[in-house]
């Protein structure tokens, strides 16, 4: 795959999914990134309220700070993220893509600059946090980290990442400002990437062997209590 082909990005609109399914799809996309050979932007929702937590977190600590259930361990790091009214997305980049070579702080800042540009198209003036403000340990939206997206001083977007030899996975959550429309935001994300990076979008769906791998990850990992409670 030549670098020029990285101008072609694929968009996956998954719709609402079960918590275990959502995490399985994102991990499957990371595994499949070299074969796909193109960046994938996935938008998805939730069939029920849930919370995800970072791969390295202890579930006993998470159970104490949220009443949301089920609790599902993410394939990425980060803290506790409630999924009861958020807009969720993920990005998967193949290992030869320029995003994969970025330092974690750089890719974190870049994805939130992208979100800022998208919201600006909707008339929402957001900004990146210049520094940190911790309030409750382990909770992604209580306080903020450097380069989180803020609106009127409140965090509205955070993300978690994982880099492997197969690619880069970014999982992001947006707590939308009042009056924002989800479909308009998704369109603005695509438009901003086209303007800033020359991205050409292609619609895409999961099928074949990748769909089978998603089912396998649900059954053997994300729907299993022994996996989610492993720490």
Q: Predicted confidence band at 3 (pLDDT cuts at 50, 70, 90)?
A: very low
Of residues 10, 51, 140, 188, which has the active-site annotation?
A: 140
What average pLDDT score do residues 29-53 get? 97
pLDDT at position 130:
87
E strand or H helix at 1, and its extent?
none
Strand 8-17 to strand 40-46: parallel, antiparallel, or no bridges (unpaired)?
A: parallel
132 is catalytic: no
* Range of weakest confidence among 14-28, 121-135, 212-226: 121-135
**Per-residue confidence (pLDDT) for residue 119, from 0 to 100:** 98
User: What's the confidence (pLDDT) of residue 145?
Assistant: 81
Percent of the chain scored above 90 by pLDDT? 89
Number of domains in the chain: 1
Instruction: Determine the average pLDDT of the residues in 58-64.
Output: 95
Residue 6: pLDDT band (50, 70, 90) is low
Instruction: State mean pLDDT over 101-129.
Output: 97
pLDDT in tens, 117-169: 999 999 999 999 986 656 554 444 455 688 999 999 999 999 999 999 999 99
**Residue 86 exposure: Cα atoms within 13 Å on the Cβ side:** 23
- Per the structure, the complete domain to which residue 78 belongs is given by 3-228
Q: What is the mean pLDDT of the chain?
A: 92
Least trusted range by pLDDT, from 80-84, 97-101, 227-231: 227-231
**180-195, pLDDT tens digit by residue?**
999 999 999 999 999 9
Q: Give the ranges where 142-197 is alpha helix by DSSP (H).
A: 182-197
> How far apart are the C-alpha atoms of 85 and 21, rounded to whole Å?
18
Instruction: Quote the CA–CA distance of 216 and 212 in Å, as a whole number.
Output: 6
Q: At 80, which CATH number? A: 3.30.930.10
Cβ contacts of residue 165 below 8 Å, gap of 6+? 95
Tell me if residue 41 falls in helix, strand or coil.
strand
């Amino acid at each position: 795959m030549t670098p020029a082909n990285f101008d072609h990005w694929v968009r996956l609109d998954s719709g609402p999914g079960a918590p275990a399914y959502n995490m399985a799809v994102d991990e499957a996309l990371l595994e499949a990134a070299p074969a796909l050979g193109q960046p994938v932007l996935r938008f998805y929702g939730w069939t029920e309220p849930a919370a995800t937590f970072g791969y390295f977190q202890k579930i006993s600590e998470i159970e104490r700070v949220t009443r949301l259930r089920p609790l599902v361990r993410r394939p990425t790091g980060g803290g506790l993220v409630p999924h009861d009214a958020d807009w969720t997305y993920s990005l998967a980049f193949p290992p030869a893509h320029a995003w994969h070579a970025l330092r974690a702080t750089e890719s974190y800042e870049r994805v939130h600059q992208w979100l800022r540009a998208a919201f600006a198209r909707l008339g929402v003036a957001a900004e990146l946090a210049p520094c940190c403000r911790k309030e409750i340990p382990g909770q992604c939206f209580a306080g903020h980290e450097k380069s989180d997206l803020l609106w009127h001083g409140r965090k509205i977007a955070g993300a978690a990442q994982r880099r492997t030899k197969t690619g880069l996975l970014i999982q992001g959550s947006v707590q939308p400002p009042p009056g924002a429309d989800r479909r308009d935001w998704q369109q603005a994300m695509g438009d901003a990437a086209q303007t800033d990076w020359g991205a050409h979008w292609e619609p895409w769906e999961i099928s074949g062997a990748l769909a089978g791998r998603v089912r396998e990850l649900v059954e053997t990992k994300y729907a299993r209590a022994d996996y989610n409670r492993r720490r």
